[in-house]
Chain A
Amino acid sequence: MTLLHTVNKSPFESMSFDTCLGYAKDGSTVLLIEDGVYAATTGNSAADKIKNASGVTFAVLGPDLQARGLENKLADGIKVVDYEGFVNLVAEHDSVQSWL
């Protein structure tokens, strides 16, 4: 069973990103949306956590990254998706867990 986790809060505002990583198993995907996209940027503690989470795929919602002017600060190994890609991720995984 594969799970798509969505995180919509900045890791500096809420514990939901950390909690999500604690539950994300091999084969699952974490999609960062809204203020959650701050976790996808370089030069902060979240970037290290993403690097160390083996077996979990990370994706970020491109329009939310652009809305915050962060396209050039994107950390390595994170896939950028648009809303169509978001829909595809939902369809490809067995279930969706929104960390709010």
Chain B
Amino acid sequence: MKFSIQINEGPYQHQASDTAYQFARAALAAGHEIFRVFFYHDGVNNATKLAVPPQDDRDIPKLWSELSKENDLDLVVCIAAAQRRGMMDVDEAKRQGFEDNNLNEGFRISGLGQLIEAGIESDRLVVFGA
């Protein structure tokens, strides 16, 4: 079955990012396809490449990035939510005149249309959030 996942909450804010990650892993292990993971609202903070959590704690942004690499996941960050929170890929940072960017490997920035498409193309859309 084809699943998509929406995440509305930042990592370490409460538990939604962890639950979504564990759900995604379990779905892949059960042989399901994940069409897209859409990061919305504070959920866009999952996409940072600058997180340095304590060594004995889980590194949620890195876990997503690794899961994406292993399973060729499409991790999409909402552009309007990202711009409000200072989440920039290389091109956008350049366009805005910033020296640095902070979007982790495996993520891409796009618009809400990607969420709508995920809803249409997937058999199930599961929302995890604040």
Contact = CB atoms under 8 A, between A and B. Distances in A.
B15 A90 contact: no
Given A34-B16, A83-B22, A88-B30, A95 B130 contact: no
A34 B29 contact: no
* Size range of the chain B interface in the assembly: 20 to 34
Nearest to B26: A83
Contacts of B32: 87, 91
Given A34-B16, A91-B32, A96 B23 contact: no
B25 interface: yes
B19 interface: yes
A100 B15 contact: no
B39 to A, nearest CB: 15
Given A96-B126, A98-B126, A8 B1 contact: no
B7 to A, nearest CB: 11
A86 interface: yes
B contact face: mostly helix, strand, loop, or mixed: mixed
Interface bracket on A: 20 to 34
Interface of A: 6, 8, 33-35, 61, 63-64, 82-84, 86-88, 90-91, 95-96, 98, 100
Given A82-B26, A87-B32, 17 more contacts: A34-B15, A35-B14, A63-B22, A64-B19, A83-B22, A83-B25, A83-B26, A84-B29, A87-B26, A87-B27, A87-B30, A90-B27, A90-B126, A96-B126, A98-B126, A98-B127, A98-B128
Interface of B: 1, 3, 8, 14-16, 19, 22-23, 25-27, 29-30, 32, 123-130
